[in-house]
Structure 1
Amino acid sequence: MVGQHHRLFDTESPHLETKFRGHTKPELDARSIHRKRSFQCLRHPVSPIDCSPNHTRGWSSALKYAPTRHSYRQVVNQYRKELSVDLYELTMSQVFWRRGMDSSATFSLFFRGYPKDRAYYIASGIDDALDFLEDFHFSADEIRAIRNVTPLSDEFVDFLTDFSFSGTVRAVPEGSIVFAAEPLIEVTGTLIETQIVETMLLNIVTTASLLATKAARIVQAADGRPVVDFGSRRTHGEDAAIEAARASYISGFAGTSNVKAAALHGIPAYGTMAHSFIQAFDNEVTAFAPYADEFPETTTFLVDTYDTLDGVRNAIRVAEQARSRGTNVNAIRLDSGDLAELARAARALMDEAGFPQIRIMASGGLDEHSISQLVASCAPIDAFGVGTRFGTSADAPYIDSVYKLVEIDGRPVIKLSTSKVTKPWAKQVFRRFEDGMMRGDVITRSTS
């Protein structure tokens, strides 16, 4: 049976291609997400360094441009993402500029192979990458920094002052299933403008796709049960926490505990309570009761601070009080121990007490593997909260992502390095379906 083929890079579809300079960037096909101190010298993170003038010789020329700011975060946020360019992208571009090499070039961003136990990726960060390209330019602050910390000529830096991205981009829709060696994004423009954006495009797309892929695996393992992102405290920085919340929502999570991510991207915010909350009261009943008063109908009791099943019994006592006032307790959360056995025991206690509607949420070191085991054991768990192992993609913490030149001046370009051979030409990807199921992809030369 011959299956249907669908283009992933369909240049006739406004949803799959973005052009800049006079064209409007389309919506993507995913769920819409919507003490003063002067830094005088560098210091070693462990042992102090003598920062007197006699001991600064040999430090980076970055010391010449050490701005006064109130905090490290303010210093970092002074600059736009464009300054996160790798130095070699600037030095190569100066050579291109000096030699008048303004040829049309196409670069392809794709993933090499798979981490262990992976067979697909979820493309994410595409929208952010397009936004980055659409507004790409160097501000006065970045130009000043480039002059001070790089070996570039003043003439080339002057050129960068008025430089902006004016090329074209083709990309798969946000949230697409993609496979290794297939382009997620292809960027076409002058040699300089396509080369100089390499690092940030890889940074944006790689992290987001890594987390979206991990989230998709967890959603699949949960088999229809809601999953909530609890990972902010263990992710690799605040930006990663926000990206994890967004990427996981694209992949099917119900929401996030991160309030900033919820506000930025329109993601539902969820929260329960911490063990410290219970410890702040005389006992669990006196902790649960006022919380239920403050948040009727949405309360989730954390029941494992002392003895889990005693905690369930105390939750039932407070649920009885709430019922007498015409309100309900939403759920209990199990965060330690044998989650399957505790869930069964908790379900029996709550059903016997007349509370079959109180749901059970499980958390505590969970990932797709442990969730799959819980689901297979028929544990009566209604929802999952996932943190560390999701937010760090603990079992596969990186993707071998690359951004390679594939075409220049209408001729193909290939790399022949051992184990790193690339495919030439700008490409198109066709997906084959049979009986509504994906059966395979075909990569061809793009004819657009």
Structure 2
Amino acid sequence: MSNQRERAQQRVEEIAALPVYRDRNLALLTDLYQLTMMYGHFKAGRHEQRVVFDLFYRKNPCGNGYVIAAGLEQVVWYLHQLQFSVDDLAYLRSLDMFSEDFLEYLRDFRFRGDVYAVPEGTVVFPNEPLLRIEGAIAEVQLIESALLAFINHQSLIATKSRRIVEAAQTNVKHPGSAVIEMGLRRAQNADAAVFGTRAAFIGGCVATSNVLAAKSYDIPVAGTQGHSWIQSFPTELEAFEAYRAAFPENTVLLVDTYDVLRSGVPNAIRVGLAMKEAGQSLKGIRIDSGDLAYLSKRSRQMLNAAGLADVQIIASSDLDEYTIRDLLTQGAEIDSFGVGTRLITSTDCPALGCVYKLVAQQFGDRLEPRIKISENPNKVTNPGKKKVLRLYVDGAAVADLIALADEQYDPSEPLELFHPIHTYKRKVVQNYEIEELLVPVFIGGDLVYELPSLRSIQARVEHQLSAFSSEIRRHLNPHEYHVDLSQPLWDLKQRLLHQWRRSAQS
């Protein structure tokens, strides 16, 4: 265990040295009501009371059948370095809301709780805890907003990226079509751009135009030239020739500055033929506007007729999974796709909507379950300290089971599962294997989880998805994957609901 902790510590220190993390203090990255609740608990002398919170989401984004969990690295870094600086305390003092003894408490504040989380790259579903946090109520309350921001954003972008990548992979004419993330200039800010790029790579993008993200996460970087490069030369051909001279080993030419078919492609062919004669090769052309299906097909014909069949065609221009699928349905001759705005902002679904709910609280020697009641059945929380079990039969994921943390299951015994709301929907699973999705990350404030590399997270996505049926993975009206409650958890939930009803009526 000590060696594991040493490796975990070394890894998080490597990550903390990255430009996106270095010399940053995010202790005040919280909503004011987290601090006011902390203060209230402190003044009431209950700030050390132990609680359990779950972080989960209620609805899959973008009409998808699942979510790809991402953002845990940022959570680990944040909790590992979390402390209030002198400037932070001075600012809080200036608000004239908090007493000096509370500010002294914050001066020595460190995260000392337990965190269990699903590893990044895990396929997850609504209502499953992505993080389970246990610790003193003051510290667990403080970190709510930051954790939600990290997990919400990167999980959303990883999922959106995966949808786009899978759309590109339906390219029959050009199998293995790649997606390049190009959203830096359209992201909501610099952090959204860098961490969005990271999430996009988790989802399956092969490269990025974002140099800072590429450096930070060892992601392949890609880019050609903009329209201003072409415009800055007397002629388009001169611009192409100058770019070839600068990058003879990686010449990709933007052909839509003036006229794709009457100017851009013919000039690219001239450069391509000259390069061929010189023993070089034109790598590709990029089309960034117009009717991409028509222009790509005509461009392919022109390139092939000129003996340049190996020149690739790259398409960009407000692409997403829907436009890519439409283009491929129309027979577009596109080898790879540059995707920006609609990926980095997840335009059609700009928020995942994770929530952070109290599920257990210590009273005396007992950890008592807590439940949030709502008139909306989907918002009634699952009480108690829980775990998530994934059941496999012959390597295929058949159901997930949300169970109480102390429950034990014997895979050699048949297990009856039932829908948590429509309980008449039942099935029996036999001869199954169990994967426990939540793994320990922090224990007593000590980091025990060695953060994986980005490429291993990307590989986990592929491995995870391979266990799910195509009906669950499809983009339009996907089949609902079974996520059930264990019988003890369901019974507990019903008991708490009945207790509340009786108390409300008395």
**TM-score, scaled to structure 1:** 0.82
Deviations 1:290-330 (A, max 9, x none): 11111122111110111111311110100111122211111
Q: 2:189 aligns with which of 225, 234, 237?
A: 237
Deviations 1:87-142 (A, max 9, x none): 11111112212222222211111112134522211111111101111221111111
CA contact 1:334–1:361 (8 Å) conserved in 2: yes
Structure 2 residue 287 is matched with structure 1 residue 287: no
CA distance in 2, matches of 1:119, 1:217: 10
2:353 match: 400
Deviations 1:331-365 (A, max 9, x none): 10111111111111111111111111110000001
CA distance in 1, matches of 2:273, 2:66: 48
Deviations 1:388-426 (A, max 9, x none): 111111000111211111111111010002322111112
1:151 match: 97
CA contact 2:312–2:335 (8 Å) conserved in 1: yes
| Secondary structure at 1:81 match in 2 | coil
Structure 1 pair 405/356, CA: closer, same or farther in 2 (3 Å)?
same
Matches within 5 A, 1:261-340: 261-310=213-262, 311-340=264-293
Q: 1:82 aligns with which of 27, 46, 51?
A: 27
Matches within 5 A, 1:33-432: 80-101=25-46, 102-149=48-95, 151-223=97-169, 224-310=176-262, 311-409=264-362, 410-419=367-376, 420-432=379-391
| Secondary structure at 2:28 match in 1 | helix
Deviations 1:45-66 (A, max 9, x none): xxxxxxxxxxxxxxxxxxxxxx
Structure 1 pair 245/180, CA: closer, same or farther in 2 (3 Å)?
same
- Percentage identity across aligned positions? 42
CA contact 2:61–2:156 (8 Å) conserved in 1: no
Deviations 1:165-218 (A, max 9, x none): 011111111121111111111111111111111010111111111111111110
CA distance in 2, matches of 1:128, 1:394: 23
CA distance in 1, matches of 2:53, 2:8: 22
State the 1:26 CA deviation. 9.3
CA contact 2:25–2:82 (8 Å) conserved in 1: no
Q: Which amino acid aligns with 1:438?
A: A
In structure 2, stretches of 5+ residues that fail to align are 13-17, 170-175, 408-506
CA contact 1:360–1:382 (8 Å) conserved in 2: yes
Give RMSD over aligned pairs: 2.2
CA distance in 2, matches of 1:115, 1:270: 29
| Secondary structure at 1:400 match in 2 | coil
Structure 1 pair 78/91, CA: closer, same or farther in 2 (3 Å)?
farther
2:399 match: 440
How many pairs align? 384
CA distance in 2, matches of 1:339, 1:313: 17
Structure 1 pair 399/150, CA: closer, same or farther in 2 (3 Å)?
farther
